[in-house]
Amino acid sequence: MVPGNFPIGCSPSYLTVFKSPNKEEYDPDTGCLIWLNKFAENHNELLQIELNQIQQLNPNATIIYADYYHAAMQFYRSPKEFGRLWTSSENGIKKIATNTPYIIPGFSMGALTVCCGGGGSYNYNPLVECGRQPSTVGNDPSGYASWDGLHLTEAAYRCIFRGLFEGPYTVPHISTLCVPTALSA
C-alpha cells in the first residue's frame, strides 16, 4: 500500500507559516489554503501515474494506492461529523456508540485547531513545541483532528483508516483484493 499526500493546505503548521491576508487563497468551506492543497493533489496524481506504470511492469504485484488526501478531506469538510461522539448526562460526559440526544459531535474544536499548542492562530506556534512551556493541551484530544500542528490525532487517523479500509479511498478498492476463504475440516 502506497499512501498519497495529505491535504497539506489544511495543516495548522502550514496555515500558520503561509498565513495570508488574501481571503481568496482559502477554501471557503474548509479554511484550508487552496494552493497548497492543489500542490498535494498534483503530487498524488503524478504518484498514481507512476504506480500504474510500476503495476504494468509487474503484473503479479499488488499495488494499492491509499488516497489519504480524500480520506482526510472528509473531516476537514465536515468536522462535526467525524472524530468523537459523546453525550452529556447529569453525571458528566460519557462515550456513546450511536446517535442519542445531547450529542457533542465530532471534532468539536474544528479540524484546523491544534490540541497541544502554543497559542496563536489555530493554537499553533512554531516557536512553542507541544509539551514545552508555555504550550497547553486540550482536555480531550478526540475533539481535535490535529495533535500538534504537524501530526494528526488518533481520532483523525481512525477516520482515515475507516475511509481506506471500509470506504472508497483505495485504488483498487481494498475489498476486491481481500477475498475471504473458508477453512475445510
The model's pLDDT over 74-98, given as tens digits with 9 standing for 90+, comes to 999 999 888 765 444 444 444 444 4
Alpha carbon distance 171, 51 (integer Å): 10
pTM of the model: 0.83
Alpha carbon distance 111, 31 (integer Å): 10
Q: What is the pLDDT of residues 18-49, one digit of tens each?
A: 999 999 999 999 999 999 999 999 999 999 99
**80: which DSSP letter?**
G
Q: What is the pLDDT of residues 56-67, one digit of tens each?
A: 999 999 999 999
Q: C-alpha dihedral over 26, 32, 38, 41, to 10 degrees?
A: -160
* SS3 label, residue 58: coil
Confidence of residue 139 (pLDDT cuts 50, 70, 90): confident
* pLDDT score of 178: 60
